[in-house]
Amino acid sequence: MDAMLDTLAASRKLEESGMPEPQAGAVVEVMNDAVKNLVTKEYLKTELDSRFSKFERKIERKIDRKFEEHFGEVDGKLGKMDENFEKVDERFEKIHERFEKVDERFEKIDEKFEKTNANINELRLSIAELGKSQAWGFVYVCGITVAVAALLFSALQFFGTGAAAAPVNVPDSGAYRIVPPEFPATPPGDDLPPPEVTLEPDPTADL
């Protein structure tokens, strides 16, 4: 950028100060050449702005390229991580399915145990009822046995000693029937006495 210098005005001032005209012209020319090699503040600012702009664009291009490279690498790594997470999710889903199957098996086992417990309770009740029935049946059989034995004893006594020697509480006919005990609808408790088996004359027997 050329500096602005009025050589004619400068030469006149030098001549007015007492310098000869040839010397004044030479000094002005030297000063003009020196000023031409100097730069002004505006020129320096413009040049610096231009160079900084070029440098900034260059840096931005490098940064953008580096960012693209790094982002590409990061995207690749994130893609691999996503694949790994998907595999982990699949494994967890399989494990969850297995746990669901195990829970179903435990539920079935619990149902079987409940049914087994119910069957055991029913069996216990049946055994208890059967035990009571057997006890009453045993009492009934014992009563019948005692009644039959008494009847046989009375018959032997009657036929052995004659009608006159028969016991007072046995009729002359010698015909008896066994009156079985009356069982309640449900077996009584242990505190109640067992039913009795009695003998009474048979009204339908031949006299």
Q: What is the pLDDT of residues 5-63, one digit of tens each?
A: 677 887 788 778 888 888 888 888 888 777 776 666 777 788 888 888 888 889 989 88
Rg of the chain in Å (alpha carbons): 69
Final residue of a structural domain among 69, 84, 110: 69
Domain boundary among 49, 69, 89: 69
Q: Is 82 a domain residue? A: no
Residue 52 lies in a domain: yes
The domain boundary residue, chosen from 69, 90, 116 = 69
Over residues 79-97, the pLDDT tens digits come to 888 888 889 989 989 998 9
**DSSP string for residues in 124-171:** HHHHHHHHHHHHHHHHHHHHHHHHHHHHHHHHHHHHHH-STTS-TTS-
- Quote the domain boundaries for residue 61: 7-69
The Cα 127–Cα 205 span in angstroms is 42
The reported pLDDT for the residue numbered 95 is 92
Q: Yes or no: say if 140 and 181 are a contact pair by the CB < 8 Å rule.
A: yes
- The CA distances from residue 131 to 33, 124, 126, 136, 191, in Å, are 142, 10, 8, 9, 16
Show the tokens assigned to 23: 């010397």
- For the chain, how many structural domains are there in total? 2
Please indicate, yes or no, if residue 151 is contained in any of the structural domains.
yes
Determine the average pLDDT of the residues in 141-155. Answer: 78
In-domain check, residue 166? yes
Quick check: helix, strand or coil at residue 177?
Answer: strand
Apex CA 48: angle with CA 45 and CA 52, to 5°? 140
Residue 125 resides in a domain: no
Tokens 């009644």 belong to which residue? 147
Whether 144 and 180 have beta carbons less than 8 Å apart is answered as: yes
